[in-house]
Amino acid sequence: MAESSSQNGHDNLGKRKAYNSESSSTAPIVADGEYVDGGEGSERRQIGLFSAVFIIFNRIIGTGVFATPSTILSLSGSVGLSLFMWIIGAVIAAAGMQVYIIWGTALPKNGGEKNYLEYLFRKPKFLITSVYAANGVLLAWAAGNSLVFGEYILRAANREPGRWTLRLVGFACITFALILHGTALKWGLRLQNFLGIFKILVLLFVIITGFVALGGHMKVEKPHNFSNAFEGTTASASSFCLSLYNVIWSYIGFSNVNYALSEVKNPARTIRIAGPLAIGVVTVLYMLANVAYFAGASKEEITSSGRLVAALLFRNVYGPRAERALSAIVALSALGNVLSVVQSSYNLDYFSFAHGERCRYSLKAESTRNLAGRASSHLVNYGARVVRSMPRWLVSVFVSEIINPQDRLFLTVADWAVCLIVIFALPPGDAYNFVINVISYPLSVINAAISFGIVYLAFHPYSDWPSVSLPAQLAAAFFGSANVFLFIVPLTRPPEGGEPYKSLPYWTHAVAGWAVFGLGFLYWVLWAHVIPRVGRYTLVRQEETGTDGLKRWVFRRVTL
C-alpha cells in the first residue's frame, strides 16, 4: 500500500493537474481512489458544503467538552489559563485544518493520513502503511467514551461510580455498541444519527444553563470565578502539554471529511470553506460551554468533580433531581459518541488499510489477525471480500463502507477487545486520561510528519505537488512544531504535583505510543518479507476499475 505512492498511484497522479479552488466537481480524475470521467462514479459526488460541515462538526463534538474541563482546570491552576488553553487548542486545530486542506487539495481522495504518509515516505514499500495500520488497530478509541457514559449513567441512577461498577457499565456500553453495529447496522446508524443531533442539543442546553447561572438564578451561592481569573496559575511545560492533550482530544475530528474526499463535490473548494467554518462554530460553542461551567460552580467543585462537571452545573442551577435527569441526557450523548467511534473505527481503518476505496483485499482484517496472534497462514489466504453498497449520503455522513458481514463483525470485535483491555486492566482513576493521552501521542507524531512534509515539499516538490502559499507553509510549520512539543514533553519528568496519572508512570502513554508503531514495524517485517520468502511468492498490486467508476487496488500473490 505504501507502493501506491511510489509506483502506480503516483504515475496516475502525475497525469492530472492538482485540484485548485476553480476545479470543477466533474473534472476528469484518474488518480487512484478517484472517479473515472463519464462513468457512473462521476454522479456519486454527493457531499456538498453543508454535509461536509456536518461531517466535521458531528465528529468533533463528543464527550470531551463534558469530561475534560475539570482536568484542564486542575493542570492549568486558574480559570483564566484554562479558558486560554481552549483558545490555544482552537488555534492549533485551525492550523491543523489548514494542513489537511493542503493535503486534501493535493490528493482529493479517500483515506486521509494514510495517503499523505505514503506520498511522503515511499520506501521501504508498505512500511508506513503497516505502521499506520497498527495505530488504527491497537488504540482503544471508544474506551474513554464508555467510561464517561458509565459515570454519568451511574450518577443518573444515584449510584456512586465505584471501581467495578464503573468498569461493568463501561463494558455494557461498548458491548451494546458492538452487538448493535455488528448485527443490526441499519438500526445502529439510525440511533447514532439521532444521538449525533441529540448531543449538539445537549451542548446548547449546557450553554443556556450557563447564561441562567450568570444571571444569578442558582440553588447555591454564585461563584466569582471571573473576578481574579488567573489566580493560582501553574507554570509547567508538562502541565501545559497535558492540558493541550485534553483540549486537542476535544477537537479530534476536524480532519474527518478528508476520509471521504472522493465523494465530495468540488473537494478543494468545499474543504476550504467547510473546515474553517466548522472549527469556528465549535470553538464558539466550546468557549461558551466552559464559561457556563465556571459561571455555575467554584474552582474547587469543578476540580473535584472529575468528569462530572456538566452534572455539577445542572445540580447547582436546577437542583439534585434535575442533575440526575440531565446526567442521563449527557450519558445518552456519550453513548452516541461510542456508537460513532465504534462504527468509524473499523470503517476508517478499512479505508486506510484497503487503500481508501472498495477493495477485494482487507489488509486491516489481516493485520488485526496477525497482531492478535492469529496463525500467520491466514495472512495470505484471506481471500477476496466483496464490499456491499449503501446509500452514498449515509456512507458519507458516517465515513463508512459496508463490508462483508463476517469482516464487519470481526473488525468490530477486534476494537472491542482492545477497549476491554483498557477498561479492565488499567486503574479506573487513570483509564480515561490514559486513553486520551495514548491516542493523542501517536496522532501528534503523525501530524508532525505530514505538517513538516508540506514544508519539505515546498523546497523539494514532486512533479505532481501543487504550489503552496507561504502563509499555508507557515501554518504547517506551526502545527508541526506544536505536535513535536506534544510528543517530546511527555518524555520529560513532570514537576511534583503535575503527574498525569494516579498509579501509572508519567511516561506510560509515550512508551505505549511508540510501542504501537513498533508493532506495526514488526508486522511489516512478517507480512512483507518473512512470509513471502517462506511461501516463495511476492505481493503484487494491480489496479482495476469497477462498474461504479471507482479505481481500486487488488493484491495478488505471484509465485517466484
100-155 per-position pLDDT tens digit: 999 999 988 877 888 899 899 988 888 898 888 888 777 777 777 788 888 888 88
Q: Are 119 and 350 in contact (CB under 8 A)?
A: no
Site of grid cell 456536518: 54
> What's residue 339's pLDDT?
76
Average pLDDT, the chain: 75
pLDDT band per the 50, 70, 90 thresholds, residue 44: low
Integer Cα distance of 95 and 517 in angstroms:
25
Return the minimum-mean-pLDDT range out of 193-202, 370-379, 548-557: 370-379
What would you measure as the largest C-alpha separation in the chain, in angstroms? Answer: 79
Name which residue leads in pLDDT, 21 or 325.
Answer: 325
> What's residue 46's pLDDT?
66
Integer Cα distance of 303 and 170 in angstroms:
23
Phi, psi of 545 (to 5 degrees): -115, 125
- Choose among 397, 395, 444, 333: nearest CA to 61: 333
Integer Cα distance of 419 and 427 in angstroms:
14
- Choose among 523, 530, 559, 539: nearest CA to 131: 523
Return the minimum-mean-pLDDT range out of 69-73, 178-182, 304-308, 365-369: 365-369
pLDDT above 90 as % of the chain: 19
The answer on pLDDT for 431 being more than 70 is: yes
Name which residue leads in pLDDT, 242 or 341.
Answer: 242
Integer Cα distance of 57 and 71 in angstroms:
23
> What's residue 515's pLDDT?
93
Q: Are 2 and 555 in contact (CB under 8 A)?
A: no
Could you say which DSSP state residue 19 is in?
P
Phi, psi of 413 (to 5 degrees): -60, -40
- Choose among 326, 307, 50: nearest CA to 201: 326
**Helix, strand or coil, per DSSP, at residue 272:** helix
